[in-house]
Amino acid sequence: MMSNATMQDVAQRAGVSVATVSRVLNGSDKVIEETRERVLLACQELDYSLHLAAQRLRLGKTNTICVILPFLTLPSIVERLRGVQEALLDSGYDLIPFSVGTPELRDSRLFDLANRSRTDGLLIISMPINDKQTARIIKNDMPVVLIDSDKPEFNRVNVSDQVGGRMAAEHLINLGHRKIGFISSHLENPLQFSSTLNRFHGYCKALEAAGIPINPSYQKEGEHGREEAEEMALSLLKQPDPPTAIFASSDTKAVGVLDAAKKLNIKVPEQLSVIGYDNIRDAEYLNLTTIQQPLFQAGLVGGETLLRLIDQPRMGPEEIILPVELVIRETTAPPKA
């Protein structure tokens, strides 16, 4: 066994070029399976993986990028993570995601990973960070990019959720609706997500601009999930004077609203208009009117920005704002006369 094998040794043993070895080790899909297996077998025979790990330590690099994110089961989070994976595909970096569901776990992960011996770069998706965590990251000279989060000390990729929320409500108002409900996850939450609250502010601004009183009985907030949204929608629709339209703060919740309407034999959009937010794949399948935010693109741009930051550590922080778009399908229509 060779403990000091090089990439050239692996290439010679496998009967391929050094470039092919590099592509296999970087996870490229441009290598046929038979060749990939020969390269990996050669690495095993030569103990090259152990040598590579030692080499990374000597160079002061881990060749990993870590991602801290909440609720990996959320479609919007998964879509952003797909974008990050695409950005890193041929970069030579391994992607390690960390899903955190509590403030304590978030703080622990941030403290642990804000260290150049653990990772070469850090992406934080939909997770606000405080001043103490910011100071530690800066002190340790850790390259960080935020996605769907805001801290001016760092590079970040965002959309204007307030604009998107206003756009959704204005679409319903322009159709003639005046009784417009709003269903969301908790506006105030332990992890301090701001996107839902910003969408709510946009909804309120649209109503105020149209001279429509904001009716607290038309607003429901609760836990994440389709079933929870269905329960909230049932509560709204069973009122003596129910809304004629509902803006759900995510497509998943909008699907829950559609479930509630079906259970109550309420026709969509003839008797109830429904609009969501995100434009996940289910939205197109269900012909759901929604606000499209570029989830995959946000992850892609965030990953590409982090790679540039690792190569150019002095790159100043900037915010990239990606556009949102109204996608009109078959779940919204003028209110029934």
Tell me the average pLDDT of the chain. Answer: 88
pLDDT at 72 over 90: no
pLDDT interval class at 1 (50, 70, 90): very low
Query: Domain spanning 161-293: which superfamily?
Result: Response regulator (3.40.50.2300)
Q: What is the pLDDT of residue 31?
A: 76
Per CATH, 64-159+295-322 and 161-293 having the same topology is answered: yes
Question: Greater confidence, 57 or 68?
Answer: 68
Q: What is the pLDDT of residue 48?
A: 67
Task: Render pLDDT for 99-143 as a digit per residue (tens, 0 to 9).
Answer: 887 778 888 888 888 887 788 999 999 888 889 999 999 998 999
Task: Render pLDDT for 277-327 as a digit per residue (tens, 0 to 9).
Answer: 999 989 999 999 999 999 999 999 999 999 999 988 888 899 999 999 999
Pick the CATH number of 7-59 from 1.10.260, 2.30.30, 1.10.150, 3.10.620: 1.10.260
Under a CB-based contact definition with an 8 Å cutoff, are residues 137 and 80 in contact? no
pLDDT at 50 over 70: no
pTM over 0.85: no
Rounded mean pLDDT of 153-160? 95
Q: What is the pLDDT of residue 102?
A: 78
pLDDT at 78 over 50: yes
pLDDT at 63 over 50: yes
pLDDT at 213 over 90: yes
Give the architecture-level CATH label for domain 64-159+295-322: 3-Layer(aba) Sandwich (3.40)
Q: What is the pLDDT of residue 164?
A: 97
Domain residue spans in the chain?
7-59, 64-159+295-322, 161-293
pLDDT at 70 over 70: yes
pLDDT at 59 over 60: no
